[in-house]
Amino acid sequence: MKLGSCKAIFFDMNGLLVNSEDLLPRAGKAFFSAHGVRWHDRYQQEIKGMAVQEYAVIWKVRFGFHESISYIVKELKRLEEQLVYRSGQLKLLPGVIDFLDWVAVQPLRCGLVTTSWRDVAVFVLRRFHIRRYFDVLVTLEDLNGAHSKPAPDSYLIAANKLKISPKECVVFEDSVTGARAAKRAGMACVVVNSTASRRKYPNVGLFVRSFKDARVFDFARKQRQAAALYLGRFQPFHRGHLWCIKKILENNQKLIIGLFNDPSDHRNIFTLSERQKIITTALRAAGIDPQRWRFVVVDRSKAGWATHLHEQYPFGTLYAGNPNLKKPFRNVSCVIRHLPRKANAFSATEIRKRSKRGESISTLVVPGTVSMINALFKEK
């Protein structure tokens, strides 16, 4: 994966986000004990990361259980829910919340990919109040005949749901099985919380013992999408726009400022060149590095303009104040963010009204652009 090309991060659940791997042997031990078979904790390590339907078959054949596969699966689920997921000892692992908080403000999509049942996954996410972090969930039910880890199917399903190329995804895993699934899906992989040796994880991007390791953040920063697009008419550019640009550049390396250019729109007081001059002056006055941003002229009169824009100027995140812009980008592989205005007073409409009444606009526009905007208003 090229640096800056990541658009999505996928997380495993068991053993990565919560300490369920430490508790799961309880369910296996209870099942074996009920059937007169001696339990060894290594049995749990051998099936780590696998779906229950698969290790139920392995155990039935290996230990000669007489019950049907469906019965074994149903009983194991009951025991896991009772002894693991609904137990008072299930906890989030160290550093998980801090990292999820960081991912939430990045121009990245986020998914949970687990071999657990959906109701179990949703229960865990809600129990620890982390459901809101995930744009997509892929659970056991989503496989629908496909293969679970170490096959790549579950991660490919997640990428497909987000309409993002596997090459633009990073996986966080704790098991060898999960890391192999990520590799086979063509995704970069970070191994966290593993108790196994680093040698068992060939070709992973990073191997750390906890999300509290600062290298996790450093690695993720290098993978994230480099460019963002901020769309608007900017009639005229004001302090609210500047505040948005500063916020965008806090989480993106580069910014594309998309200027809508529709001469037939009666709301467009300033020409394209006038707006470019105002914005350039404002950003220079604010000390924003000119190497980090550029202009793009956007013509919405052409069919498929959003798709064409993304193809010509690749970006990972779209920022726009108008929620109606979500529709044209529904087939574009990007994250859509809606930045709130800094304050209602920072509206172009208010600036135009004040200027028409001859009132001061100095508190609304960026210092250094007041005289320029006033002069242009007089010319209109």
Single-letter amino acid, residue 308: H
β-sheet with 206-208: strand ranges across: 136-138, 109-113, 8-11, 169-173, 188-192, 206-208
Domain-embedded: residue 155:
yes
* 341 pLDDT tier (thresholds 50, 70, 90): low
Q: Residue 197 half-sphere exposure, CB side, CA atoms within 13 Å?
A: 2
Task: Using pLDDT thresholds of 50, 70 and 90, give the confidence band for residue 298.
Answer: very high
pLDDT at 277: 95
80 and 95 share one domain? no
Domain final position from 59, 85, 111: 85
For 253-274, what is each residue's pLDDT tens digit? Answer: 789 999 998 877 777 788 999 9
Do 351 and 316 reside in the same domain of the chain? yes
- pLDDT at position 40: 92
Residues 66 and 147 in one domain: no
pLDDT per position as a tens digit, 71-86: 999 999 999 999 999 9
Instruction: CATH number of the domain at 254, please.
Output: 3.40.50.620
165 and 255 share a domain? no
130 pLDDT higher than 50: yes
Last residue of a domain, one of 178, 207, 223: 223
157 band by pLDDT with thresholds 50, 70 and 90:
very high
Mean pLDDT of 351-375: 88
Structure confidence at residue 250 (pLDDT): 83
Which pLDDT belongs to residue 330? 81
Is 215 in the same domain as 232? Answer: no
CATH number for the domain harbouring residue 176 = 3.40.50.1000
Other C-beta atoms closer than 10 Å to the C-beta of 128 total 15
Q: What was the pLDDT predicted at 182?
A: 95
Same domain flag for 127 and 194: yes
pLDDT for the residue numbered 116: 92
Task: Say which range, 20-24, 188-192, 224-228, has the weakest mean pLDDT.
Answer: 224-228
Compare 101 and 253 and report the one with higher pLDDT.
Answer: 101
Tokens 């060149």 identify what position? 273
Q: Of 200, 223, 246, which closes a domain?
A: 223
pLDDT recorded at residue 343: 41
Q: Is the pLDDT of residue 1 over 60?
A: no
Report the percentage of the chain scoring pLDDT > 70: 95
> What are the beta bridge partners of residue 189?
171
- Residue 103 — very low, low, confident or very high, per pLDDT cuts 50/70/90? confident
| Maximum mean pLDDT: which of 16-20, 147-151, 313-317, 360-364 | 16-20
Burial class (CB in 10 A: 0-12, 13-18, 19+), 301: exposed
Is 180 contained in some domain?
yes
- Using CA atoms, how far apart are residues 280 and 366, in angstroms rounded to an integer? 11
Q: Does a structural domain hold residue 333?
A: yes
**Cα–Cα distances in angstroms (integers) from residue 346 to residues 25, 160, 294, 365, in the given order:** 59, 40, 23, 8
Q: Does residue 66 form part of some domain?
A: yes
Residues 6+ apart with CB under 8 A from 89: 19, 23
Assign residue 70 the CATH number of its domain.
1.10.150
Domain presence at residue 299? yes
Strand 169-173, strand 335-337: pairing: unpaired
What total number of domains does the chain contain? Answer: 3
Per-residue H/E/C for 201-261: CCCCCEEECCCCCHHHHHHHHHHECCEEEEEECCCCCCHHHHHHHHHHHHHCCEEEEEEEC
Residue 52 lies in a domain: yes
120 and 175 both lie in a single domain: yes
How long is the chain?
Answer: 380
The answer on pLDDT for 3 being more than 50 is no
- Domain annotation covers residue 1: no
373 and 298 share a domain?
A: yes
Produce one character per residue of 59-80: b if its CB has 16 or more CB atoms within 10 Å, e if not.
Answer: bbeeeebeeeeeebbebbbebb
| Predicted local distance difference test score (pLDDT) of residue 226 | 58
Checking if the pLDDT of 4 tops 50, the result is yes
In a domain, 167, yes or no: yes
Are 14 and 160 in the same domain? yes
Q: Is the pLDDT confidence value at 354 over 60?
A: yes
The least confident of 21-30, 88-97, 183-192, 369-378 is: 369-378
pLDDT given for residue 76 in this prediction: 93
Q: How far apart are CA 22 and CA 370, in angstroms?
A: 63
Take residue 255 and report the two structure tokens written for it.
């910014």
- Examine the pLDDT at 100 and tell me if it is beyond 80: yes
Residues 55 and 168 reside in one and the same domain: no
Res. 279: pLDDT tops 50: yes
> 231 with 374, same domain?
yes
Q: pLDDT (tens digit, 9 = 90+) per residue, 235-246?
A: 899 998 999 999
Same domain, 129 and 171: yes
* Residue 307 structural domain: 227-379
The per-residue pLDDT of the chain, averaged, comes to 88
